[in-house]
Amino acid sequence: MERRRHFHKMSLAGFWIVLLGCLALCHAAPTIAPTVSPEEQDLAEAYLSSFYGDVGMTNSSVRRLAKSSFNLDLQAMQAFFGLEITGVLNNETVEVMKAPRCGVSDISRYGHFHGKPKWRKTLITYSITQYTPDLTQSQVDTAIGQAFQLYSDVTPLNFKQIYSGTADIMILFKGGSHGDFYPFDGRGGVLAHANSPGQGQGGDTHFDEDETWTLTQRGVNLLLVAAHEFGHALGLDHSRDRRALMYPTYQYVNTNGYKLPDDDRRGVQALYGSRTPVPTAASTPTPDPDPEDPTDKPDPLPNPRDEQCSRDLVFDAATSIRRDLYFFKNGYYWRKNARGIRLTKVSTIWPQINVVDAAFEVPRERTVYLFEGRQYWGISSYSKRMMSGYPKSITSLGLPSSVSKVDAAVYVVSTGKTLIFVNNQYWSYDESRSRMDSGYPRFITQDFPGIGSKVDAAFENYGYLYFSDGSRQTEYYLQSKRVNRVLLNYGWLNCY
């Protein structure tokens, strides 16, 4: 499982949800009058919204209504940093929030990502595709090489810079939008981010060019930030040890003779083991494996787990089921909720179904409909059991017999209509009258300008419709018929 990690002004994620249950029982928040300015309150709300809200929850007014969520998130942050756990924003908490840091969930001691992803080979290549003008190219190469060497000194891993082609870890310096799902936010906010190990974009690391990159105490020290991000690229999560490199808050330390702190060394060695002693002159050295040798690459898995954080991820179908989001791919589905993401094979839950082509939920009916080929099934959204009388032919919905499969479907709560997409056209099914509306099919481009001519998957979330065409996804506001933003599918799967 690939995750994106980044430095930011004080941020957490939902990893503290178990701890919060204890906090709610053990710490009654005293009544304390806020002592912060409206601007600082807005800053805190924006920060918590950005790093705690689900992908796609862009409506700030919706989020601000969830005061209890704000207070719980605030309690988690205060607990981690040893502040008084009040759930109330105060000056001390704001000061900690303003410290530059890596914006990701924080855990005790060294930590690994869920599933402990790691590289399955000992020689890892990297390539710097875009440099910062703050330093010479030679200085950047040296600092990046030193950052990798911190890990090669204590593990069997070796790192090699290449200057053409695709490396295991692709590195660039660029500000703002830079070709992935998470644009940088200017100086002093997010400093850098990296993906955890995996195929495709696994390990890729980006640095915000709006920062001033240095090799000293002034500005942002490239060696320290790079070493932190490469920890993520190798599979390390954050540490609660304040002396650790993987502690989330950025702080300068003297880099002369810098070695990997003990906590980080134990964490990376738990994944890769210790480095063997250097062989003597009489020993026969073992050559590094060829980075182009296909036998040195990870074996493909029989499910889409390796694709989870690929920028090229294409969904077969998507839907909500009782506020959880389900994303279907190759006979599996990812279920996303507040507890995280879980990958499950479709046939283990619904034995009659092999691959889901399309899916939609009608909340008022407490029913989910799953399509495969020319058939579809009704599923209870509460029990997840198949309903009697299914499967039915898709022609029973009013689709012509020439349609062999449905590409996507979505129920629109505000209209009571289900939109059914096939190739470059769509139908509108009236759920209240249980029949297809007249005048259909219509061309997708005619009624949904900007989303493309084909829809592979569609679902509704917090008032927005999300249409996927290949790996590209459009967030669409139906009432004004406008595109709000363009996303990539993998961003929904906690690939930060």
User: How many Å apart are CA 494 and CA 496, to the nearest integer?
Assistant: 6
| Residue 359 main-chain phi, psi, to 5 deg | -160, 145
pLDDT confidence of residue 15 = 33
Burial code (b: 16+ CB inside 10 Å, e: under 16) for 269-305 equals bebbeeeeeeeeeeeeeeeeeebeeeeeeeeeeeebb
Q: Is 71 helix (H, G, I), strand (E, B) or coil?
A: helix
**Range in 412-426, 454-468, 475-489 the model is least confident about:** 475-489
- Give 90-104 pLDDT, tens digit per residue: 888 788 777 776 545
361 is catalytic: no
pLDDT for the residue numbered 51? 52
| pLDDT winner (highest mean) among 36-50, 216-230, 482-496 | 216-230
Residue-wise pLDDT tens digits, 162-206: 988 899 999 999 998 887 777 887 887 778 888 889 887 889 999
The label of the residue with tokens 């940093």 reads 81
DSSP element (H, E) containing 427:
strand 425-430
Quick one: pLDDT at residue 6?
56
Nearest C-alpha neighbor of 200 from the set 288, 116, 102, 298:
298
The Cα 3–Cα 469 span in angstroms is: 23
Please give the sequence-ordered ranges of beta strands (E in DSSP) within 144-195, or none if there are none.
Answer: 158-161, 169-173, 192-195
**Spatial distance between the Cα atoms of 114 and 216, rounded to a whole number of angstroms:** 34
Domains of the chain: 4-97 (no CATH), 111-272 (3.40.390.10), 311-493 (2.110.10.10)
> Could you tell me the strand order of the sheet in which 205-207 lies?
4-6, 192-195, 205-207, 169-173, 123-130, 158-161
Q: What is the pLDDT of residue 157?
A: 94
- Find the radius of gyration of the CA atoms of the chain: 25
Which residue do the tokens 């990893």 mark? 15
Of 2, 211, 229, 372, which residue is the catalytic one? 229
CA distances from residue 288 to 283, 300, 302 in whole angstroms, order as listed:
15, 22, 29
Mean pLDDT of the chain: 80
Which pLDDT band, with edges at 50, 70 and 90, does 53 fall under? very low
Rounded CA gap, 61 and 52, in Å? 15
Q: Give residue-wise pLDDT tens across range 59-92.
A: 333 333 345 567 767 766 666 666 777 778 888 8
CA distance 107 to 79: 11
Nearest to 359 by CA among 316, 400, 390, 403: 316
pLDDT computed for residue 282 by the predictor: 40
